[in-house]
Structure 1
């Protein structure tokens, strides 16, 4: 199959722009709790915010924007960690008729300057005083007539409360005129891509893109996203996936809590008890690795290994049943599953709050066995796929139709086509119309389809299987063309490996760099009595400890067993890297391959001596 489509489930008639989602929800259920918010005291309770309260706060801030001089179509930048005020500022910007320009809170001053200048930002909001200082400097550098940088920090000067105070005299009629000024085809946001393979590009997404995705995805996943459910958003709201999720939950009545520090998520789940979570695969790997470590502490590693394989087998059986296959009863498997559920699985579900019905995984490839494991412990993982240019999800598995290893079928209103070269092409309701800079559109579209740059295939049921990035393809000196994704993903399943990077362009054989997860590696070294000397991370120099290399040789051998001989890695180096360095790693934790290869040039060259 070279093309797969899913018809839309939702009608956009009756919606002028994204703000209608909130207005409609507030009219239908004004007293329903829309958000749970942590107060100034981090140890205090979570406070409920109703849809009516949220709408009131949004309208008040929108009036402040108007009083400050924001005009319809003006870009407003938001640079802040994931928090409730991000949601208020986002919707308030749209109520004021503005265009939102999200900036990752970890962006460097040069990145902030470039985005503010390119987008023509007139007013900016920072999560902290430090963010506001960066934004203020960027606005000054533009030399344009701008409206200042404000902060969510209540203890500082120039706060959102100050803006609200300025807007008290703005009439409701004026606000309503501004709220309805944008049509479905007007820009709603300009999102700058993280640039793993080149310079960041400003992706212009319209109100139609957001409305189409929100309404269709809500309809497709009504079993998961509904008034009875709640979720925790800890992914960056500067990323379109988190913002899209927030709008879907808001429109569907699903309660939202925000966490700015992902490291606090596990400790918070027991309190918030979400029914649904959106994560990146690394989070699932860490949950599984933590369980393995706990078992090791209690001298139960061999028992855990059997529990893990039992969960995978149980998950595989469940998927076969979902697919309508006749599966014979397996009393032994059932008994083992019941035993390990009491010993391990139930505790893992409790760690996740005890109510999680589904997990959505995106942002990177999910190992099929890891997906089956979570299905086997009673928490199915729905893997999806999308890009900024497709307003987040393009494809996704659905409840009752999960196929591990696949990223699912096109979501309602979307079409996926596979080109003659194996590239994934996209068209439909969520697909953007072009970049802010028209020069970036060159080569981005073919026959009305957006070129994703990803390689993939469709099975006979129209499900998409990803096979790597077009620009990551390696051609060795022997003329062999290798797509590294499958090998890299297999090695990254090891908890000590944060990233695996296959190399070998123009070389006689393939090699790899294994970038260590510092936290997991330090814990492993302590448990094994291994001393790893401090390594300067900037140049990605090799770590030569023989015990560590022997430990990781097993992961390399296992990955090599999955691929053809011509795709196997002969040599590898183990390195540490600063994974908080935004010049090296994107905000969604993807390595910038070109930067890695540049910094690790000496280490890579040593692999071919």
Structure 2
């Protein structure tokens, strides 16, 4: 039993009827979540699935499927809706997927052939399980339980292999740094994004919190190029979260709305921003407007966040200080991370199990230990805070 399930078990024993997941039309108690995870896991085992791809929008079912895969010891491959059909086909073939759980079966049928497998657990959430017996299995680094595909600006997406412990290591470090007990997190970014998956789901579950997961249309983020600020503002006021994760353009929209007279919810205590370079001026504008905004740094190859500004340790313009679970050094002006490195890339077996990650980012530390990113040494798939700005 990993730490996440240990915490859920403790919560189930002490407050089984506490609300733990919320969506637009339902609230799940801890007891109901536990039962759903068990049912999903049993169904996945019965289907003899070893590698499951999840192609779905944000919903409680996404979280249930993720946790069920952990319980059933199945490798999960989250796929973003905003990937092109060509990118999705590449990911499915490259990872050797044997089944896909999706809320968009019509699109899936255009990408890869398959046949529907009975999966009663998914019916409530309009999820269909499709078996892909024609896809050959690919060898993976030992212990791989999640493959997250980067969406670099050049070339096909690249599979980054992670185990459960690496993801939970980041979640624990984030929970300690942020320091919010019983958080109420609103998922605004796709759960297929590693940062939202870890920071927006695992952190609240580890800290006795709750996760709010409206459908994408209710939060204003409908795709890689679709951002409806007014809808996002309505969601924030209606749902009163304590924490959110934003892309830079979302923060621009929030600050502009405040300047036009919108009042942010007083419930907000931590607003993480990543996915691209954020101007120092914008951070100061956000602070002056009353938004508790904090910038960080990380990449998929380190299971997301490695450095973070945080309450009581915040210097706008920097990427923050390294979190407790990693060591960050500068070698020849390049940022090198060790301590929680990925298992390897799918397509690079000769370099599996690296001891450190050369990020390709140029940077330096100031006298106080804050990291500054100054540019790129080369074009790679690394992303600021593990997200790709779109």
Normalised TM-score (structure 1): 0.55
Q: Is the 8 Å Cα contact of residues 280 and 316 (structure 2) preserved in structure 1? A: yes
The separation in 1 between residues aligned to 2:87 and 2:108, in whole angstroms, is 14
Q: CA RMSD in A?
A: 2.9
Instruction: Report how many aligned residue pairs link the two structures.
Output: 361
- Paired position in structure 2 for 1:234: 188
Q: Secondary structure of the equivalent of 1:247? A: helix
Unmatched runs of 5 consecutive residues or more in structure 1: 1-14, 40-46, 141-145, 164-184, 295-346, 474-585, 591-609
- Correspondence list, 1:340-351, <5 A: 347-348=261-262, 350=263
Structure 1 residue 126 corresponds to structure 2 residue 80:
no
The separation in 1 between residues aligned to 2:315 and 2:290, in whole angstroms, is 15
- Paired position in structure 1 for 2:241: 274
- Paired position in structure 2 for 1:53: 32
Q: Is the 8 Å Cα contact of residues 87 and 156 (structure 2) preserved in structure 1? A: no
Q: Secondary structure of the equivalent of 1:38? A: coil
Shift of 1:470: 1.7
Q: For 1:37, which of 2, 8, 23 is the aligned residue?
A: 23
Change (3 A) 1:472 1:117: closer
Unmatched runs of 5 consecutive residues or more in structure 2: 132-141, 222-227, 381-385
Shift of 1:58: 0.9
Shift of 1:128: 2.6
Shift of 1:418: 0.9
CA shift digits 1:477-503 (9 cap, x unpaired): xxxxxxxxxxxxxxxxxxxxxxxxxxx
More helix by share: 1
Shift of 1:220: 2.2
The separation in 2 between residues aligned to 1:281 and 1:385, in whole angstroms, is 13
Change (3 A) 1:403 1:587: closer
- Paired position in structure 1 for 2:360: 453
CA shift digits 1:78-105 (9 cap, x unpaired): 0111222111111112222101001111
Q: For 1:202, which of 159, 177, 184 is the aligned residue?
A: 159
Q: Please identify the structure whose Cα radius of gyration is greater.
A: 1
The separation in 1 between residues aligned to 2:56 and 2:387, in whole angstroms, is 13
Shift of 1:290: 3.5
Between stretches 244-253 and 431-440, larger displacement belongs to: 431-440
More strand by share: 2
Q: Is the 8 Å Cα contact of residues 415 and 426 (structure 1) preserved in structure 2? A: yes
Structure 1 residue 90 corresponds to structure 2 residue 66:
yes
- Paired position in structure 2 for 1:67: 46
Q: Secondary structure of the equivalent of 2:190? A: coil
- Paired position in structure 2 for 1:496: none
Q: For 2:12, which of 11, 14, 26 is the aligned residue?
A: 26
Change (3 A) 1:125 1:413: same
Structure 1 residue 112 corresponds to structure 2 residue 88:
yes
Change (3 A) 1:28 1:461: farther
- Paired position in structure 2 for 1:256: 211
Q: Secondary structure of the equivalent of 1:234? A: coil
Q: Is the 8 Å Cα contact of residues 58 and 89 (structure 1) preserved in structure 2? A: yes
The separation in 1 between residues aligned to 2:275 and 2:21, in whole angstroms, is 25
Q: Is the 8 Å Cα contact of residues 104 and 238 (structure 1) preserved in structure 2? A: yes
The separation in 2 between residues aligned to 1:366 and 1:387, in whole angstroms, is 16
- Paired position in structure 1 for 2:388: 588
CA shift digits 1:144-201 (9 cap, x unpaired): xx87597957596x747x99xxxxxxxxxxxxxxxxxxxxx72220111112243321
CA shift digits 1:546-598 (9 cap, x unpaired): xxxxxxxxxxxxxxxxxxxxxxxxxxxxxxxxxxxxxxxx98334xxxxxxxx
Change (3 A) 1:154 1:274: same
- Paired position in structure 2 for 1:462: 369
Structure 1 residue 101 corresponds to structure 2 residue 68:
no
